[in-house]
Chain A
Amino acid sequence: MIKIKNLSKVFRTEEIETKALSDVSLTINQGDFISIMGASGSGKSTLLNIVGLLDSASSGSYQLLDQEMVGLKEKQKSKVRKENIGFIFQNFNLIDELSVYDNIELPLIYNKIPAAERKQKVEAIAEKLNISHRLKHYPQQLSGGQQQRVAVARALINDPKIILADEPTGNLDSKNGNEVMELLTDLHANGATILMVTHSDYDASFSQKTILMKDGIVLSEKTNSRNVDVLITS
């Protein structure tokens, strides 16, 4: 599904040239759940942003669904993004001024889904993520875990081909963090492709494969053998 070959990213200021990524290669198949780990500045977020088409690479190749993404114009990127990619952020990035319902509905609007269908979809996903009773509320009225669930709902509503999660539990306590991780595992179990950046070994252990990055290169890849004990806490 995703083929990355020799991807590099260079940040230039007037005097210094920093290589955030150098010659990274990576393949993600349909149904994979991969986590990227690494210290601050290792390039993991840059990689995620490039995969998410929020940032562009300096050189190399990035193919998403057999289509070359490097060198795409902003307008095309925007199109690919809204059709294929769902984002989950550490700080949720919900629009504070919109209700939960409106937040979840947003991707559907931009994908020009008719109103009736939108309503149906939002309600279905809210049901699935157990936030139906919160649809009329605003983000600040929710707990962190609930906010992240709303963000997950928003990321999923469009049936994206791949879910990109940037430290999804970073702003949550362990209980809420666990819930979110279980949610992702569930999604994975149902066939979703997930790429997650995390600091936490624990979180990474939920994924099939962990990629460790340092100074812009992939240091190691390991396959997680752990069988997840699904703890239903709620």
Chain B
Amino acid sequence: MLKNWINIFFYHIKNNKLFTVLNVLGLAIGIAGLIFATLYWNDEQSYNEWNPNKDTVFQVLVDMEDGKVWNNIPVTMAPFVKDDSNIEEMMYSENWYQSILYKYNGKKIIVEKVFNAENNFFNFFPFEFIKGNQKTALQNENSIAFSQKTAVLFFGTENPIGKQIQYEDQILTVTGIYKVNGNSAIAPDAVVNRMKAKINADKEEWGNFNNGWYIKLKDPSKAHELEAKIKSIFYKNKIAKEAKEEGITIKQYEAQFGAFNFYLEPLAISRMDTKGPGCPEGKGNYQFLLIMIGLSVLILILSIVNYVNLATANALRRAKEVGVRKIVGASQSNIIKQFLFETIITVIVAISLALVIVELSLPYYNEFLGKELIIYGSQFFLEIIIIFVVTVIFAGIFPAFYVSNFETLKVLKGNFGRNKSGVWLRNAMLILQFAIASFFIIGSYIVFQQVQYLGNKDLGFSGEQILEIFYFKPDAIRNDKNSEQLIFDRYTTTKNEVSKIKGVEQVATAALRFGGGNDSSSSFAYKGTNIQGQNIAVDFGFLEMMKIEMIQGRYLDPKIASDTINSMMVNETALKMMKEKDPIGKTVDWNGNKLKIVGVVKDFSLFSPQGKVPPMVFFHFKTIDWMIGNLNYLYVKVNAENTAQTIADIEKFWVKNVDSDYPFQYDFLDKSYKRTYQTYVKQKNLFYLLNVVVIVIALFGLFALASYSIERRMKEIAIRKTLGAETNVLLLELSKQYILFCIIGFLIALFPVYYLLNKWLENFANRIEISIYPFIIGFVALLFLTLVVVLSRAYQATRVDVLKYLKYE
């Protein structure tokens, strides 16, 4: 039986090479898309799966009702909850990766992902220990644990345990080597225990939300009780006191400054469902994941529809075969099995081809996602089997039943080729294909418009010819008693020297990074409104150099003494929130400093062009002296001529005089800023690529279907021609139904595309409104392509020899 089925299957393949190839290719592309989405999904879902504590370890988050949820908490809390019976243990950390340069044996290596946590870190993240003891690895403050691959960089094949490495002016001893098996919310290259000083410095500071706080619970179901407890401790020690000082009730305080809500969030959901900013490895882009899955499912549907359409259309040609098989004894179930068998083989081939496509394009996909996905794992193979079964069911069951229901007698009497049954279904599917194609064409055009809008948006600053140079501050300086002065002096010297280099037009800085934000935010009250402003300390001349304009008042001026003492500026957004018509000269109480407004800065993009401009306050580094600690970049304007030489000169100077350890890292600001919306550029490109795929598959389906349907109507065409129909009348006759389907499909797509793309555009504070153009362009494009395909087929049909079809039968 199998052999017989295979024989006939291969016969059809041989005689319909083009359609078979396109059909399999269409399915393969659809399946490949789904495999890509699945790999992505698996990777995201696998975060923390390995961690036995994923349900008992909680990260404490705080919602300050300013639109952001933070994952940093004051370290003052721990002593108040340490006796809570539900807490097994707690750990404070610096909740981000630090990039630190270590020296060993003359080697200088920057370890990109160093995590600083209290010594019980490995009880929360029990990585596999290859060398050393997990329990005692971080016991001492001068100990460091390395990941295996980092250790190899330093020590090669030597045993790393006990080796001493140099960190600035200190010596650290390697006490452990671990391996991170699987995706982890925190997957550091090295772990250090240097929290004691940080905790000591902040131990009375209820307002310093500086550190990540991880808590392991005995009974995770009672996490909410602890949330409430933390909140009440915070209110008792911070809010109640401040409200008292202000002479208002806690309710009034909350109304004015916003409430503080604390959450305990288990590691298990810290990747995909977190309310906060995620752990150091970042949080998953859930929306993008859904988009990927949605689009790939659409493409798979498209290719399955193609398959079904072709299979049923083709079945008419095979009607005789089915009839004969039935007569010589095949039962209906037998015919169903045969056609399912063909689908199964096709799908197996398509899946194999899909796997090849995935394997070959995985590197590009990984680059696109910034991941290291591999085709592997029992879960993945299970999913492949599910994809297989689902595809076979949807692609195979219908045609098989359709064919098996052919009435033997009608089939054998001939004339079955013009059978109408199943036509409505093929047409419905064709409409569905048109709808999906419309969705993609319109959608990708809207995405294109939005991304272009971001690219062309006036950022409010000019990054042209501006170098952004990473400016490292050694611990020795940072931790010095006099650190503010030291940093400022060091900066001033550097600035003066760099300014002298030929080609350098200006050097300035501010405690911010364009596209990266500014790491500091304080609230201040003005006329009863609370404003959570972004704090930006600047050097003289910085705003002018960046071509950031003033709306009112003036820039800071080195000649005016008060500008380093009590002058401040606000931006437009802040001014709007302050509701002050005449801000110049008004005084603001900012964290206990009485500052006088001297200017209003025009809004410029701080984080990324898609985000809203936050309220910002500006002052000179000297005015609020601790702000100098946030100075991380130097901005240098260079002459457009001989830029390369100028950069080389700066580098030479830098390595010699500023920092001999850290490599000279710079970028052109306009280039680095573009990366802030890189994700969306990538999404646009993805949408484009998928668009092409979808259109190709849909057009192929249309082509095949039009061919079949015209073939069925050949006798009609021949009669019409005999009766004197002209070519263009025939062409209209043959294409009009497809034009109708095209319009219906387009109309069906309208609402979903409008709704979903609007949802997507909600990601952007600066967004386009959906105009009519994408729809017009989409419709015209679709109609044009439809006509090209259908007319080419129809034209061929009108050229045929009339006699051949009239004599037939």
A-contacting residues of B (Cβ < 8 Å)?
1, 4, 7-8, 11-12, 15, 320-321, 323-332, 334, 408-409, 412, 414
- In contact, A106 and B409 (Cβ under 8 angstroms): no
Residue pair A99, B7 in contact (C-beta under 8 Å)? yes
Contacts of A91 in B (CB 8 A): 414
Interface contact A154-B328, CB-CB below 8 Å: yes
Residues of B within 8 A of A78 (CB): 326, 329-332
Which interface class (under 10, 10 to 19, 20 to 34, 35 or more) fits A?
20 to 34
Interface assignment of A93: CB less than 8 Å from any CB of chain B: yes
- Please name the 8 residue pairs, one residue from A and one from B, whose CB atoms are nearest each other, closest first: A82-B329, A110-B329, A97-B11, A107-B328, A95-B321, A78-B331, A97-B8, A54-B409
Residue in B7, B11, B15, B323 whose beta carbon sits within 8 Å of that of A93 in the complex: B323
Give min CB distance, B4 to chain A, whole Å. Answer: 6
| A13-63, CB < 8 A from B | 49, 52, 54-55
CB distance from B115 to the nearest CB of A (A): 67
**A interface list, Cβ under 8 A from B:** 49, 52, 54-55, 74-75, 78-79, 81-83, 87, 89, 91, 93-99, 102, 105-107, 109-111, 154, 158
Bound CA span A94–B15, Å? 18
A49, A79, A106, A111: the one within 8 Å of B325 (CB)? A106
Chain A residues contacting B7 (CB-CB under 8 Å) are 97-99, 102
Contact B331 A106 (CB under 8 A): no
Task: Report A24 CB to chain B, min CB distance, Å.
Answer: 18
Nearest A residue to B325 by beta-carbon distance?
A106
Contact check, B4 vs A94: say whether CB atoms are below 8 A apart: no
Given the known inter-chain contacts A89-B412, A93-B412, A95-B320, please indicate yes or no for A110 contacting B8, CB distance below 8 A.
Answer: no
For B324, list chain A residues within 8 Å (CB). 93-95, 106
Listed by A's residue number, 12 A-B pairs whose Cβ atoms lie within 8 Å are A78-B331, A78-B332, A82-B330, A87-B328, A89-B412, A91-B414, A93-B320, A95-B324, A96-B320, A97-B8, A106-B324, A109-B4
Contact B329 A98 (CB under 8 A): no
Whether the Cβ atoms of B329 and A107 lie closer than 8 Å is yes
The answer to whether A102 and B4 touch (CB under 8 A), given A89-B412, A97-B321, is yes
Give 13 A-B pairs besides A54-B412, A94-B324 with Cβ atoms closer than 8 angstroms.
A52-B327, A54-B327, A81-B327, A89-B412, A93-B323, A95-B321, A97-B11, A98-B7, A102-B4, A102-B8, A106-B4, A106-B324, A158-B328
- Which B residues touch A74, using CB under 8 A? 332
Across the interface, name the chain A residue whose C-beta is closest to B333. A75
Cβ contacts under 8 Å, A98 to chain B: 4, 7-8, 11
B408 x A54 contact (CB < 8 A): yes
Q: Which residue of B lies closest to A97 (CB)?
A: B11
In contact, A95 and B412 (Cβ under 8 angstroms): no
Q: Is the CB of A55 within 8 A of B327?
A: no
* Contact for B12 among A55, A97, A105, A110, CB less than 8 A: A97
- Of B15, B328, B409, the residue contacting A49 (CB under 8 A) is B409
Give chain B nearest CB distance to A115 CB in angstroms: 8
Which chain A positions have C-beta within 8 A of B1?
Answer: 109
Given A49-B409, A54-B409, A110-B334, A95:B329 Cβ within 8 A: no
**Interface pair A95/B408, CB less than 8 Å apart:** no
Measured between beta carbons, the chain A residues less than 8 angstroms from B12 are 97
Is the beta-carbon distance between A93 and B327 smaller than 8 angstroms? yes
Whether B329 lies near A111 (C-beta < 8 A) is yes
Q: How far is the CB of B12 from chain A (nearest CB, A)?
A: 7
Instruction: Name which of B12, B328, B334 has the most chain A CB atoms within 10 A of its CB.
Output: B328
Q: How far is the CB of B341 from chain A (nearest CB, A)?
A: 13
Give the distance to chain A from B572, nearest Cβ to Cβ, in Å.
Answer: 76
> Across the interface, do B332 and A75 meet the contact criterion of CB distance under 8 Å?
yes
Residues of B within 8 A of A83 (CB): 329
Q: How far is the CA of A52 from the CA of B327 in the complex (A)?
A: 9
Residues of chain A contacted by B414 (CB below 8 angstroms): 91
Q: Considering the complex, give the chain A residue whose CB is closest to the CB of B321.
A: A95
